[in-house]
């Protein structure tokens, strides 16, 4: 149920079936071996558990070091070694809490988190902020990609050039984010 808030049931079933056999390919550049469905569930569950522990005030902060990371996974296909969009699934889960009505997802990586952006681009309750080398894989994340419909303006892409250092990142995080 949690995963299907972001991914189609057909896609989830497809991954489960391939994983139960010899593995396969979730989509574009997303090969996986047998048992990867269960591992992907654990990764997603780890992100949700970390966030819930913070929201429940059991801990003050967390870092969920999980693989596959998930930010390239689309609703109906994996991409870039990502099977499920862990952060998107967790964010949708947290919005079900009475105390949460707005979430900011900050993605800094050499690659643009296309799957995460697509999961949120029409949702005004989630701000997606991304720094990434552009036009590196997957070729998305242009500055003019700003969300759609009610989510217009809640997507903030900051394309960066290779080799930009700490000073540039610090300026982007302080002035743009």
Beta strand ranges found along 26-86 (DSSP E): 27-28, 31-32, 78-79
Backbone angles phi, psi at 32, to 5 degrees: -150, 160
C-alpha 5/C-alpha 28 separation (Å) is: 21
The reply to whether 72 belongs to the active site is: yes
C-alpha 172/C-alpha 73 separation (Å) is: 26
C-alpha 82/C-alpha 97 separation (Å) is: 27
Catalytic residue among 72, 111, 112, 118: 72
Give me the helix-helix angle, 36-55 and 86-94, nearest 10°: 40
Name the token pair of 90. Answer: 């967790």
Q: Are strands 24-25 and 31-32 parallel, antiparallel or unpaired?
A: antiparallel
Query: Hey, which residues are catalytic here?
Result: 72
């Amino acid at each position: 149920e949690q995963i299907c808030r972001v991914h189609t049931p057909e896609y989830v079933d497809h991954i489960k079936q391939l994983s139960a056999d010899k593995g396969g390919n979730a989509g574009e550049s997303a090969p996986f071996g047998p048992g990867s469905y269960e591992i992907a569930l654990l990764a997603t569950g780890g992100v949700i558990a970390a966030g819930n522990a913070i929201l429940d005030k059991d801990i003050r902060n967390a870092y969920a070091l999980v693989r596959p990371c998930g930010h390239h996974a689309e609703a109906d296909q994996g991409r870039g070694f990502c099977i499920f969009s862990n952060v998107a699934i967790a964010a949708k889960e947290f919005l079900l809490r009475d105390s949460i009505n707005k979430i900011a997802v900050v993605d800094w990586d050499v690659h643009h988190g296309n799957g995460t952006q697509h999961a949120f681009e029409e949702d005004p309750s989630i701000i997606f902020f991304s720094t990434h080398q552009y036009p590196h894989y997957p070729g998305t994340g242009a500055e003019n990609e700003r969300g759609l419909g009610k989510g217009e303006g809640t997507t903030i892409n900051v394309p960066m050039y290779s080799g930009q250092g700490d000073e540039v990142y610090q300026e982007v995080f302080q002035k743009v984010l």
